[in-house]
Amino acid sequence: MVRSKASIVVVAGISMLIMASTLLISQSRIYGQEVQVGKFTADLQPRAGSNATGKVILQALPDLKTIWYSINASGLKDVTNVAISQETTAGRLSDVVIIHTSSGQGIMQGAQNGTIATGNFTASEFSGALEGKRMADFVKAIGDGKIVVRVASSAYPLGELAGKLSIS
C-alpha cells in the first residue's frame, strides 16, 4: 500500500509538470508580442451548388517561425488554387500564403478526396497584406478572425470551399 501511494504521488507530480509545460508552450512571445501558439483549424464550407467539404489544420512548430498545414477535402474536382487569405478593411480577400496554383503546379486533375495539400511555410513566404510582416502578425490576424483558407476549382474559380481559421 505504501508503494502504491508513492507511485500515485510520482505520477501526480509528473502530470503536473506536463500540464505546466503545456501552458508555457501554448502562450509564447514572438517579437515581444504575446501570441497564442499551437493548433488552428477551419471547417471549409462549400459555395452554393457544391457538395464539397473540407478541414484545415495549422500547427505552429516549436521554433515559432514555421507553420505546418494539412488541408483535407472531399467532393472536389480539378482543384486550381489553394490559398490562405486575409480579409482587408474593404471586405476583400488578399492572398497571404499561396499553397497551390494551377499556373505553378498545374491543375489537380480529377476527383480530390483526402489530403490535397500538406507542408510548411514561414513569414518569408507571406504575400499581399502580410508581405514583409512577421509570424506574430499572421497569428494575431487568425485571433482577430481575419484569416480564411480558400480552395478553388475549375468549376468555382473564386473558391469552391472556404473557411475562417480559429485557435483550437
Work out the pLDDT band at 8, boundaries 50, 70, 90: low
Q: What is the pLDDT of residue 108?
A: 86
Q: Does residue 21 carry a pLDDT above 50?
A: no
Quote the CA–CA distance of 144 and 139 in Å, as a whole number. 9
Which has more pLDDT, 125 or 93? 125
Mean pLDDT, all residues of the chain: 82
Structural domains in the chain? 36-167 (2.60.40)
Q: What is the pLDDT of residue 62?
A: 82
**Residue 135 C-beta-side C-alpha neighbours within 13 Å:** 26
Quote the CA–CA distance of 157 and 50 in Å, as a whole number. 13
Work out the pLDDT band at 17, boundaries 50, 70, 90: very low
Quote the CA–CA distance of 102 and 121 in Å, as a whole number. 19
Which has more pLDDT, 19 or 81? 81
> Residue 160: phi, psi to the nearest 5?
-90, -35
Per-residue DSSP letters for 101-143?
A: EHHHH--EEEEEEEEEEEEEEEGGG--GGGTT--HHHHHHHHH
| pTM for the predicted model, two decimal places | 0.77
Quote the CA–CA distance of 160 and 74 in Å, as a whole number. 11
Q: What angle do CA 128, 140, 33 make, to 5 degrees?
A: 115
All cell numbers assigned to 165: 481559421
Express each pLDDT in 25-57 by its tens digit: 344 444 444 445 579 999 999 999 999 999 999
Residue range 57-75: mean pLDDT, rounded: 92
Q: Does residue 152 carry a pLDDT above 50?
A: yes
Q: Does residue 20 carry a pLDDT above 50?
A: no
